[in-house]
Structure 1
């Protein structure tokens, strides 16, 4: 643990700042945050607060706003920050270059609670995907990301059991064929005494294998990484005292209580429509949305978890390819980058929101 501890000097600033008035255009889209001199990197919600990850010149900061969009707290950093991350317990972390910081948040204050290396964070925190008072749910992907195991651990007895198992056998065999080709090329070009696979020192990353660089080999590895071994889509959520799992491999939605007992299995078919981008978004009120992209336009289709049917569709009206889409209290929030002077690569990033449509 000592190797994961870093002592830093952090400048904490408490102040109230009135932001520019929110602008609302004819399509009903609101600009939530925009300052031309500030780069917006990421945002996250915490209770009734909005967190912004910002860069001004070469300095980074986390700013906390209330929903009148006044600044109530700010924490400044002298090094690069990449993104926010919400853990299964609702805690907020921020990623830096090689470390992850956990934030200690209060309605009018931001402090650092803990710090860990990215590898330690991935092993301990990221694998836990759901936390209830009764159990913890962990996720494990194997077989070229075509087999996913969700298992639960009872928080009182530490008893472990399988919650749900998903296996796309055809896709796994297809991925294995590509994997075997890559390994064969490597083995044919590396002496046995230098062979990482034979010596048991290989980390499993095909990019780390010293394979002769040719166009065919490059395309083979790229296709394996970006397409063939792409993780199956089976996101899991916890809301309203239920665990909801979207098993798109088996065309079903599964609902469990907070103790891990199955309540229902519901057929789904929306994911078979063209232009679904393999994403499901949830909000803290237990609403779920499948994200579609058609001709650069993004649509959110709300899924009824009782029937599995689409009950409403929201088109993001103004911006193409919006980034970091989230839903909260009847609004879809997203970031979009507008080029001001393309010839000198001058751009601005804004945070917008748009009312969710309640009809098909």
Structure 2
């Protein structure tokens, strides 16, 4: 694959002469691959870690943009005061990257709605992208405030106004929350005190599975708008759960078989959802299963047929079929020295289920409790 310095080792076995990965990387004359990404934060601390970290050679210095002062967990600062000063610079960088693309399909936005930058500046950016690139699809990976674990008291105040931008300006939003990720790390990987790195690696596997068909030859979800086609029945109902299997440490993987049936069953377990909500309490409107690795359609069909017979997975009456399965023969890879085991096959499930309302209404309830007393309102 591509090394942390952006070079690709001379043996082209991974791409197999197929340059689908150029969807996410542009190649310079010197044979270096640069991600088509802009990293933004309103304070310099986090961006400096990228500038000095393992992947400092990978990113173009102009693609890492940091402001002078952060949004201080305040949506209004991220959206109106501090964010407004930097947004034109960011859009200019995005414009440069967009001009390098031969056929721009859309954008993937990664942010959290608990803090001020992710919610305020994230919303501002989505609004401006809708103006500049009206027809392009926008997928967002959004870390929503969790039920118990919180880094700030005012998370609900930030999430609620930014959810408006997510409703209006994204085509598909994949909801994650840190508490669910922590629990999965503790339970499945036996990490006592998970760090953000552990959580990010987990999210990375999900994103990797979702984008595998864009990067390698696949049959399902070959472009970004296909997610929308498959998962969104009505434009505003575009908040997805995600789950992934097998999340397993190397010691355990050695003793387990992890057949297609097993991993298919485990993505439907509520405990493997990467958002704290129980899909058994809702109905499925659509469900996308993305398999990768050593998987044949016959196994997938029988595994899905088994799931359909279970009472726990209920579909709405106006969407009877519901399952869309894709197979990508590129097996999942792991970060060297990471927590996850290398496995032969994996599956990522993205259901559109009414259970997500449970997570959203929980945040709303917290908002109402605080706002009723006008707490933290200046």
Instruction: Say which structure is richer in helix.
Output: 2
- Higher alpha-carbon Rg: 1
TM-score, with normalisation over the residues of structure 1?
0.29
Greater RCO (Cα-Cα under 8 Å, separation 6 or more): 2
Instruction: Say which structure is richer in strand.
Output: 1
